[in-house]
Chain A
Amino acid sequence: MRAPKILALFAAAVMVASACQAAATPTPVPATTAPGQTTAPPAETPTPPPAEPITLTLLEHQELRIAALKKILPLFESKMEAEGKNVKVNLVELVIPDEEFRTKVTLEYGGDNPADITSYPGAWVPDFATAGYLLDITDRLAAWPDWEAHFYAILRERAQQADGKYYSMPRHGTVIEFFYRKDVLDANGISTAQPQSWDELIQRLTDLHAKTGLPAVTLPAGTTWGGGTFDEGFIHIFNGTGGTLYDTATGKWVVKSQALTDAFTFYATLQQNGLLPTDALLASEPWEPTKYDGFTGTLADGTAIDIAPPITTQGSWGWIYDWGPDGARPIDGIFDKVGVWAFPSKASGDTFVWAAEDWMWTISAKSKHPDEAFELLKFLNTADALAIDAAAVGNLAPRDDIRDVAPYKDMWYLIQMEELLPTGRSFKAQVGIDKIQQAVGQATEQILLGKMDGPQAADFFAQTATSLLGADKVEEQP
């Protein structure tokens, strides 16, 4: 009986070890930045004498943006040199998907030596700012005449956080609309005039589907599209309801309302009528079969397929980043074949485009060279640098005075969209937006799976959002 005893002891040891491993979580890095530190005036920051060499680090995770920065950063170093300053910029290239980058940046900020400067979607800023990770640049922006004089008001307003301060500066502007294939709609006798309401849009999609038998529109949905389901899909439908998603008076998220039910019902109507590319939206990389294969009518290996869906939500970057000559999946003769519509609303005649920043530049609160880092941000937002950076990915200038600067000035399609920035509609991210995005993803996924209709998905959204945010951070509205 000795062997079984040893076996039992061994088993017990393994059980304890395994169980402990299951429960172990990596030690989080405590937040070491006190609120006071983030608001320290520039004069109190330990800036070395100008003659001493200073190296700033700039973290970037998209290839096209890296390529643009490689052209711009030497110009900044030359400018600094001309001013008698020895400032170099170490460009840290980390090409990874957005969600992984978010985790990477989170861990960097929690550590002792984060990059001085980085940029990411504006929706990430509230969480990072309230964590004390970002440098308060309110005073610096106020002292920079260009900020008030040339940056679009909508972008300045969006950069201001709930505490009234600024922790970020827009990198670019962007406009999101419906992009459609004129050639496909014309071939099927579908009007390309601006649809004035949801009903008119749905009727047009239904007519198209009746003729082709194929899905008619790509409206990001489900969880595999990540934050894109919210940013490139849901919010543009919700903005057409006139509803409120975040109650600034109470500081709570609205998780149940008629407007939310209407938005989910819009999705359900599309799904039930076969207008959405359901299987593609449930795939692991849903943009591949929809915005790339489907919208261009070409597989990655060059094989021609049906153009379906020929209508999709898309930002200004589509002209270059996705479908431009050097983009992910070029469309020959794109300006002849592709047109744009504003988003229609539930009510007729209330069309709008999404107008917001593309990404935000931020400086780490732990930067040892905040003054030089802010100088770099200002330089990145000067005409020549901005024209290169915005044009590289097909984004819009966040300021109104670079339309005659090459190479941006040659991109008339971007300038046309830039003109829409002042009148566009958007939603300002608040703390907890990542959980709302997840809840929207899960609720729309239930619709895609055919398990829920609009009201059921709205209830599911309310339940999921409450679970993720906590009951004390949500409310209901009529």
Chain B
Amino acid sequence: MIARPLAGRGQALLVLAFLAPALLLLALFVVAPAVSAVLFSFTDLALRGPGALAPKIVGLGNYTRLFGDQSFVDAFGRSVSFVFFSAIIGQFVLGLVAALLLARKGIVGKGLFGAAILMPLVVPETVAALAWASMYAPDARGTLNLLVGLVGQEPVAWLVANPMLAIIIVNIWRGVAFAMILFAAALEGVPREVVEAAMVDGASAWQQLTRITLPLIKHAIVLYMLLTTIGTFTVFGLIYFLTRGGPGGGTTVMSVFIYERAFHFAEIGLGSAASVIMLGIVLAIGLFYVRALRAQI
């Protein structure tokens, strides 16, 4: 006996019923706060001071103030650097290399290697930050300083000497596992016979990688870029725990800037405006990548 498919309207209702719980949660916890942020961004709402007692509508005042504020522009620039060097360059390259190594036959200790790379992903963010705070500790007892001490070097205040590089390294360490997993899965899908045919035709290892493997996993690469760009733009905890945006504002990326304005100084209106700008940037990046993905189809 064959089950009769539901009529069009009945099927639509059934789909809606199944989707309803997820849609409700999304509406409550994602859409509503985002809409609130947009509305607040047109006010001088605050948690302390006169703006808490009688918030006023200020139109585009918060946006005008932000675009004329050099510290906001600087924070945006730092965010772009942070995303480019830690996610697009660091995590992507190292993740791809790790995935390629794991895909090779005859490599000894693959399991151990894979587990070692995976570990940063399963460590909670606060624990990761604490671990790196210990690594970067400025006195002679810091892990990195113990290492440089072995070669007779004086202790270095790593988070002061080059704070942006320090947090980029931490973010690469934390994100490389995700890249490796995604690329490893994509590499599984590369037909073996195509690679072997290239080898028979005399293609070098580099040619096999650049002309066979990478084009065949392009969709995974674009997807990874989408996820990591958005994810890295919104990194807050690691940076705040390690440097609190300092020293000298040197690691105040947009997420830290928003936190400081919205919560440290309790200016919800201004913080919301900065959030909305960041939302716009992230959406634009997302749309760019989605278009790129469509181009692959």
Contact = CB atoms under 8 A, between A and B. Distances in A.
Contacts of B149: none
B265 A468 contact: yes
Interface in B228-247: 230-231, 233-234, 244, 246-247
B203 interface: no
A467 B265 contact: no
Contacts of B272: 25
B290 A279 contact: no
B34 A467 contact: no
B227 interface: yes
A316 to B, nearest CB: 28
B162 to A, nearest CB: 12
B254 to A, nearest CB: 9
Contacts of B31: 20
Given A23-B279, A25-B271, A131 B223 contact: no
Contacts of A434: 264-265
A420 B282 CA distance: 57
Interface string A444-472: 01101101000000000001100110100
B48 interface: yes
A478 B227 CA distance: 53
Nearest to B296: A4
A11 B223 contact: yes
Interface stretch (A27-35, A63-71, A76-84): A27-35
Interface string A1-45: 100110110011011111111111111111101010000000000
Given A4-B296, A23-B276, A33-B53, A28 B282 contact: no
Nearest to A110: B47
B78 interface: no
Given A25-B268, A31-B54, A468-B265, A19 B230 contact: yes
B26 A279 contact: no
A57 interface: no
Question: Could you say which interface size class chain A belongs to?
Answer: 35 or more
Contacts of A222: 246-247
A96 B30 CA distance: 31
B70 interface: yes
A8 B290 contact: yes
B61 to A, nearest CB: 9
Given A33-B53, A449-B160, A468-B265, A17 B30 contact: yes
The main secondary structure of chain A at its interface with chain B is helix
A442 B265 contact: no
A11 B283 contact: no
Nearest to B254: A22
A183 interface: no
Interface string A186-201: 0000000000000000
A50 to B, nearest CB: 33
B190 interface: no
Contact of A279 (B48, B54, B138, B264): B138
Given A11-B290, A15-B230, A23 B37 contact: yes
Nearest to B50: A130
B103 to A, nearest CB: 19
Given A26-B33, A128-B48, A15 B290 contact: yes
Contacts of B246: 222-224, 445
Nearest to A448: B247
B146 interface: no
B297 interface: yes
Question: Could you say which interface size class chain B belongs to?
Answer: 35 or more
Interface in A328-365: none
B165 interface: no
A467 B283 contact: no
Interface in B216-263: 219, 223, 226-227, 230-231, 233-234, 244, 246-249, 255, 258, 262-263
A27 B33 contact: yes
Interface string B138-171: 1000000000000000000100100000000000
A446 B248 contact: yes
A7 B219 CA distance: 8
B260 to A, nearest CB: 8
Contacts of A279: 138, 157, 160
A41 to B, nearest CB: 20
B30 A131 contact: no
A366 B219 CA distance: 58
A435 interface: yes
Contacts of A464: 71
Interface in A102-161: 103, 106-107, 110, 126-128, 130-133
B97 to A, nearest CB: 23
B297 A25 contact: no
Contact of B223 (A1, A7, A29, A31): A7
A8 B293 contact: yes
Nearest to B277: A23
Interface of A: 1, 4-5, 7-8, 11-12, 14-31, 33, 35, 99, 103, 106-107, 110, 126-128, 130-133, 222-224, 279, 282-284, 431-432, 434-435, 438, 442, 445-446, 448-449, 451, 463-464, 467-468, 470
Given A16-B286, A99-B264, A448-B247, 12 more contacts: A8-B290, A20-B30, A20-B31, A22-B282, A223-B247, A282-B157, A282-B247, A431-B50, A434-B264, A434-B265, A442-B249, A449-B248
11 contacts: A8-B294, A19-B279, A20-B31, A20-B279, A25-B268, A35-B53, A130-B53, A131-B49, A283-B138, A467-B69, A468-B265
